[in-house]
Amino acid sequence: MNRVVHPIEQESYRRLRARLDTSHFPPLTRAVVERVVHSAADLEYASDLVMDEGQLAKAHTALHAGAPVVVDVEMVAAGITRRDTVCRLRDAESGPGLTRSARAIRLAYEQVGPGALWVIGNAPTALEELLTLDAAPALVIGLPVGFVGAVESKAALRESGLPAVSNVSEKGGSAVASAALNALLYHPLSLPDSPDSQSEETS
């Protein structure tokens, strides 16, 4: 079923595209960039985000085939309105060498196993813990925010070789992480030949 887009969102995208040329991005990359920029009203994300179109295409297929979606905090889950998510933070307790967020990632992995999409927008320690597991993810959206550990955890994600969406700076957060996942959810199953053929309904 097609998503109905509110006129305010349509106007927001019109203004975004008037200020930022995204036409050179391939389709899924463009969708992620635009939705993240839209969620934060921050044009700098266009040059801050790091992703690979081929990896996004495989993740897009897995997502629409029903792969589990795991989030690090409820705020990320709240932003993903068209898919049930797994969040084990309420069940987790901190322990020796592990933060509560890291423990929640372990619990989630025990629940979903390999092949999930992981969306981390809050805790660098959650991303760090995920990288220690044999999670074989369909995609890791690693966009934790903060001055301590965020840049380093995202750099480690890129160095890991896992399929990922990340960014270089300290910026990030729950809203932009959920926006990146939503971009894949909203995008049609049959990918257009060029970014220009994307509709407002799937941007």
- Digit-coded pLDDT (tens) for 109-145: 999 999 999 999 999 999 999 999 999 999 999 999 9
pLDDT confidence of 196, banded at 50, 70, 90?
A: very low
DSSP 46-83: HHHEE--HHHHHHHHHHHHTT--EEESSHHHHHH--SS
| Lowest pLDDT segment from 73-82, 166-175, 187-196 | 187-196
64 noted as active-site residue: no
pLDDT confidence of 188, banded at 50, 70, 90?
A: confident
The more confident residue out of 203 and 176 is 176
pLDDT given for residue 8 in this prediction:
84
Query: What is the mean pLDDT of the segment spanning 82-94?
Result: 91
pLDDT given for residue 190 in this prediction:
67
> How many Å apart are CA 73 and CA 113, to the nearest integer?
19
- Given the residues 38, 60, 64, 187, select the one marked as catalytic: 38
Helix (H, G, I), strand (E, B) or coil at 172: coil
Judge whether residue 155 has pLDDT over 90.
yes
**pTM of this structure:** 0.89
Cα 142 → chain centroid: 7
Beta bridge partners of 167: 49
pLDDT given for residue 81 in this prediction:
85
Give the contacts of 148 (CB within 8 A, at least 6 positions apart).
124
Kindly list the structural domains of the chain, giving each domain's residue range(s) and its CATH number in brackets, ordered by start.
Answer: 7-202 (3.40.50.10230)
Per the prediction, the chain carries an average pLDDT of 90
Judge whether residue 198 has pLDDT over 80.
no
Instruction: State the virtual CA torsion across 180, 182, 186, 192 in degrees, nearest 10.
Output: 10
What is the bridge-based pairing of β-strands 117-120 and 139-142? parallel
pLDDT-above-70 percentage for the chain:
91
